Amino acid sequence: MNLTESYVLKTKWGYVGIAWDVLGIRQITLPDPTHEACQKRLSANRLHKVLKKLPQPIQNLCKNVELYFAGNKVTFSSKTKFNWQTLTASQIKVLSKAFDIPFGKTVSYSELASLSGFPGGARFVGNTLAKNPFPLLIPCHRIIAKNKALGGFSAPQGKEMKREMLILESCNLYG
């Protein structure tokens, strides 16, 4: 088992945790109100070492996360390495297609299912997004219902955080 390292950073929206190992990013959390709550969610079921000096790719990622939650348009690098070990091949297909959804745009669960090679698989897409260990980097908040309803969101503040993230990106939720 690879050693997992982690870091918690403070953003304008709260505390965001990032965990990684030699294979890539293992998890990123969406903002929690306290450092302790973020650390608890980040470390659930993981042995890891908390770092104070970060490798350059993680420093760059932290800067982009801070910029995003400060209201700036951010495109996360396609060179970001993800540790996909806890996901199935089908889930990876869905999350890989979700990664391509640009800042300020949304697609429906059924559209993402078709793009991922699973026409009619909107429920599968929703279940996959609910388990997304890389929210924000793989922007599950940009996937909404066909009727423009928000759909689900498993962030600490639920659908309200999803709504706020879409507003931050100037997404038109009403047609």
pLDDT tens-digit readout, 110-168: 999 999 999 999 999 999 999 999 999 999 999 999 988 898 888 778 899 999 999 99
Is 171 one of the annotated active-site residues of the chain?
A: no
What is the pLDDT at residue 175?
46
Longest dimension (CA), the chain: 47
Listed residue (31, 21, 18) closest to 68, CA to CA: 31
Q: Is 44 exposed, middle or buried (0-12, 13-18, 19+ CB in 10 A)?
A: exposed
Q: 144, 108 in Cβ contact below 8 A?
A: yes
pLDDT, one tens digit per residue, over 80-105 is 999 999 999 999 999 999 999 999 99
Task: Report the interhelical angle of 122-130 vs 89-99 (nearest 10°).
Answer: 90
Q: Which CATH number describes the domain made up of 4-69? A: 3.30.160
Which value, to the nearest 10 degrees, does the dihedral of the CA atoms of residues 126, 139, 37, 84 take?
80
Whole-number pLDDT of residue 47: 56
Please state the rounded mean pLDDT for residues 25-32.
Answer: 93
Contact call for residues 81 and 53 (beta carbons, < 8 A): no
| Integer Cα distance of 161 and 79 in angstroms | 27
Q: Looking at 38, 62, 140, 171, which residue is catalytic?
A: 140
**Which class in CATH covers the domain with range 89-168?**
mainly alpha
What are the C-alpha distances in Å from 168 to residues 28, 142, 163?
A: 19, 12, 9
Q: Where do the domains of the chain lie?
A: 4-69, 89-168
SS3 164: helix
pLDDT mean across residues, the chain: 90
